Amino acid sequence: MDYLLNKFTSSGPKKLKIALIGQSNFAADVLELLLSDGHEVVGVFTIPDKGSREDILAVTAKNHDIPVFKFSVWRKKGVAIPDVLEKYKSVGANLNVLPFCSQFIPMEVIDGAALGSICYHPSILPRHRGASAISWTLIEGDAIGGFSIFWADDGLDTGPILLQKEVEVEDSDTLDSIYKRFLYPEGVTSMGEAVRLVAAGTAPKITQTEEGATYDPPMFKEENQIINLNQPAKAIFNFIRGLDSVPGAIAYALDENEDEVMIRLFGSQMFDDPIPDGKPLKLKGLTTPALVTEKGLLITGSDGKVVNVQRIKKGSKMISSSKWFDQTSGQVTLELTDAEKAIETSLKGIWESILKVDITEDTDFFACGAGSMDVVRLIEEVKDAYDVGLENETLFMAPTFQEFFTQLILVSRQGSSSGEINVEYDGFVLKANKREISVPTQLFINGKFVDAENGRTLDIVNPTTEEVLCKVALASKNDVDVAVKAAHEAFKGPWSQVSARQRGQLMFKLADLMEQHKEELATIEAVDSGAVYTLALKTHVGMSIDVWRYFAGWTDKIEGSTIPVNPARPNNVLTFTKREPIGVCGLITPWNYPLMMLSWKMAACIAAGNTVVLKPAQVCPLTALKFAELSVKAGFPPGVINITAGTGSITGQAIADHPLVRKLGFTGSTPIGKKIMASCAESNIKKCSLELGGKSPLVIFADCDLDKAVRLGMSAVFFNKGENCIAAGRIFVEEKVHDDFVRRVLKDLKTMTIGDPLNRSTAHGPQNHRAHMEKLVEYCEIGVKEGAKLVAGGKRVPGMKGFFFQPTVFTDVEDHMYIAQEESFGPVMVISKFKGSDVEAIVKRANNTEYGLASGIFTKDISKALLFAEQVEAGTVFVNTYNKTDVAAPFGGFKQSGFGKDLGREALNEYLKTKCVTIEF
């Protein structure tokens, strides 16, 4: 081993005068490290500006008042340029450091410093000498990679070695990953270490051997980037990853005329799964056509093994390889005016000034490392430059330059500074309530309204007129699959880039839009589901708005905790938990509160950071589809919210069975809930929460305020036409006041106005759909047959078109009867007597059911109330009130009424998972 002559005194290392020659963040970080070690960097030599953008090394040097020199070339015809050489000599360096240098430096400079020149090279020399060493490490399938710092000489990376560092090359490594994981961070540190060895006079000079040396072609030449597809799959895989993410391996696709189309391949993986169905794609040099599948582009090597390619670049456009054959769908093509072309040029300048990279059409703002302040800066600069009021969310929806520019032009053409987004869809115009409301009728998938597979539709019937209102797209299993995959991609991609606070801002904006359109939403709800308009305005829509605002406030308050655990002496241990979103959540909502049930579940789900595929009720999906339109205008990225209208047996079942759905929230009947739970278990053991049937007891003691008990007791049964999951399905009245209670109820029933839900005086609208109305008729017939006394109603309203059912009252109901055990889900009051002397006996009767959703008690005796609240088996207990729900109060049942909570802080738990992290230090 030959050591550098120690030119320093015995007092120790000296501080050096260094000329830094290179470029990029790597060189900038080396500069900072050398300065922190106390060395004097007397000059920085880097590449010229690209347009208005300086290399980051030049910017960093100027921040430290270091002289900067920018040379496009250092020599001409093999001879050093005198002016360049003179400027180099002017700084008086005694060591040249080349941390990342893409230029050829003449020997007059290499030897111009007294201590010589040290250079960083990304390979374990002597293997892979040349400009593309990292690529060849991967292309050749080396098990070991690393870097060398060598003493530069007049050869091609042939100078003596100063130090080397090695790393195992993982099967998943790409050009990017190995650089970020090891070559960059360890390389910067080792450059500092090498300079310290030089300063101390202990830096070795180990002569390179020629044994094992390779001289690999430079991969910056296009002819060297062409992949040979006639080789084993592992070699194909290695070649692609060796050029990932730049410049990409070149292949040639053959179109229907056998013409060659140049493409670049990215994201290779060895593929060992069963081959899925796909469409063949001919590639030049490949005997067996490649296969475009939902998994990616599958290429079979000469050994019969398969490589999966995830992304294809055609021209400047990067697409998912699975979408090769529909790559043009959904794209917006703009014919630009001269003024708009000027905007495109200046907008590129804004992006370059922020990102410090060359901007192409597919430059991804976030993939370039941009943060939240960069988002704000871009949006504000765009507002200032073009007087167009885009929102931060626009960038989340359109993160690439071309997508963002397209949105900018589309908004500017609208002539509005509000930046409101126009949403295109097929639908119909609802003319009702003195309004004309445009309503979508397509599925909403990945941010767009689309037809169902094969154009299938289902009829939506107006329950007031019994006429077909419109036809809505009917989602198939394949449609659900597309929606779930869109939600999965959004969860892993754009949605993960949205911070918790920004997520809350999106939710607040959506709530504001719902408020602006509340009359439209309430009108749709009244016509589509039969809800009385005034109730729809206050509850169906009003509470929906409240719940979005409530959970918007929770987004940045979802926290883990630190946990004291036994330390591992002599070390310490830190244990903490993280609350994380689950992923894609499936939601299946009922027909009694279409918009409100959507909001109860989805707001908590979105607040927790998940993405959603929702199936609204088959019979009334229209407010869900209108809501989807508003979500686009609010700025939610594509794929975060998906609405798939359809049947429970096909659409709902497909959501429950899908392996990418990790959580399912369901509100509906107990029998269907059991099937849902079984599907969740059999598919992938997905987490589920169920809000199912109820037969809620309401106990009225003689010592209560009877006027209030009658008024709220009627509301407890007849609210929302009885289509209310917590409706009082059994009313127990103390015998002392039983007859008086019944008399007052019957009297008040006569004043209840039944009719058109859009009429402001209407108190009782039609049942939601025909099948339910017919079920209510049958329910009442069973009650009469078993001996209960029908004192009011029990039939369809005579002489009135629409699904109108008479408010009904049964008395003398015994606990064993069908109507005392089973839910009607309609306007049917079931009354039983009890003796007030035995409180525990009436609680026992109240609990004599498999349901446990809600309950209520009217009494002035606080002891009775508290005893009832303690012993009743129900998720909600109302005392001297009923139907008093609030967005901040948890809602959910026990027993066969399901499990899990909607609303309140507890609802977030349904859509979060807890991760425990333990660190020993």
pLDDT digits (tens, 9 = 90+) for 442-467: 999 999 999 999 999 999 999 999 99
How far apart, in whole angstroms, are the C-alpha atoms of residue 437 and residue 427? 10
Among residues 623, 604, 588, the alpha carbon closest in space to that of 554 is found at: 604
Q: Helix or strand or coil: residue 344?
A: helix
- Residue 611 labeled ligand binder: no
User: Is residue 617 part of an annotated ligand binding site?
Assistant: yes
From 579, 576, 645, 656, select the one nearest 610 (Cα to Cα): 579
Residue 820: DSSP 8-state: H
Q: Encoding tokens for residue 409?
A: 């032009």
Question: Alpha-carbon distance 391 to 76, whole Å?
Answer: 51
736-782: pLDDT as tens digits: 999 999 999 999 999 999 999 999 899 999 999 999 999 999 999 99
Out of 193, 391, 403, 691, pick the active-site residue.
Answer: 691
User: How many whole angstroms separate alpha carbon 661 and alpha carbon 847?
Assistant: 35
The H-or-E segment that residue 279 falls in is strand 278-281
Q: Is 43 assigned a ligand-binding role in the annotation?
A: no
Question: Cα 242 vs. chain centroid, distance in angstroms?
Answer: 30
Q: Is 315 annotated as a binding residue?
A: no
Whole-angstrom distance, CA of residue 475 vs CA of residue 486: 15
Is 875 annotated to bind ligand? Answer: no
260 is annotated as contributing to ligand binding: no
Residue 255 gets which letter from DSSP?
-
The rounded distance, in Å, linking the Cα atoms of 518 and 531 is 14
Known catalytic membership, residue 764: no
Q: Is 713 assigned to a binding site?
A: no
**Are the CB atoms for 150 and 161 separated by under 8 Å?**
yes
pLDDT of residue 693: 93
Catalytic residue among 585, 704, 725, 780: 725
Q: Residue 569 has which token pair?
A: 């002496």
Q: In 3D, which of 670, 711, 662 has the Cα closest to residue 880?
A: 711
- CB-based contacts of 357: which residues, under 8 Å, 6+ apart? 363, 368
Short-list 194, 138, 131, 139, CA closest to 165 = 194
Q: Does residue 560 contact residue 578 with C-beta atoms inside 8 Å?
A: yes
Among the listed residues 622, 457, 404, the one whose alpha carbon sits nearest the alpha carbon of residue 526: 622
Tell me the β-bridge partners of 665: 587, 689
Does the annotation place 104 within a ligand binding site? yes
Residue 559: CB atoms within 10 A of its CB come to 8
Query: Is 64 designated active site?
Result: no
The C-alpha torsion from 233 through 238 and 240 to 242, rounded to 10°, is -170
CA–CA separation, 346 and 130 (whole Å): 38
Is 899 one of the annotated binding-site residues? no
Is 775 annotated in a binding site? The answer is yes
| Rounded CA separation 676/656 (Å) | 7
Tell me the average pLDDT of the chain: 91
To the question of whether residue 449 is assigned a binding role by annotation, the answer is no
According to the model, what pLDDT value does residue 698 have? 98
Which one is catalytic: 101, 119, 121, 680? Answer: 121
Exposed, middle or buried: residue 353 (CB in 10 Å: 0-12, 13-18, 19+)?
middle
For residue 325, what pLDDT is reported?
81
What domains appear along the chain, each with residue ranges and CATH number? 17-200 (3.40.50.170), 222-323 (3.10.25.10), 338-414 (1.10.1200.10), 435-691 (3.40.605.10), 697-888 (3.40.309.10)
Does 231 appear as a known binding residue? no
Query: Of all helices (H) and strands (E), which one includes residue 822?
Result: none
653 is in an annotated binding site: yes
Residues of the chain with pLDDT under 70: 1-13, 51-53, 156, 245, 316-318, 326-334, 371-373, 393, 397, 413-421
90 appears as a binding residue in the annotation: no
User: Residue 775: which H helix or E strand, with range?
Assistant: helix 770-785
Q: Is 455 helix (H, G, I), strand (E, B) or coil?
A: helix
Cβ-Cβ contacts under 8 Å for 445 (sequence gap 6 or more): 479, 482, 483, 486, 642, 643, 644
Smallest CA-to-CA distance from 631 within 611, 615, 650, 649 is with: 611
Separation CA 605–CA 660 (nearest Å): 16
As a residue count, the chain comes to 921
What does the alpha-carbon distance between residue 870 and residue 848 come to, in Å, rounded to a whole number? 16
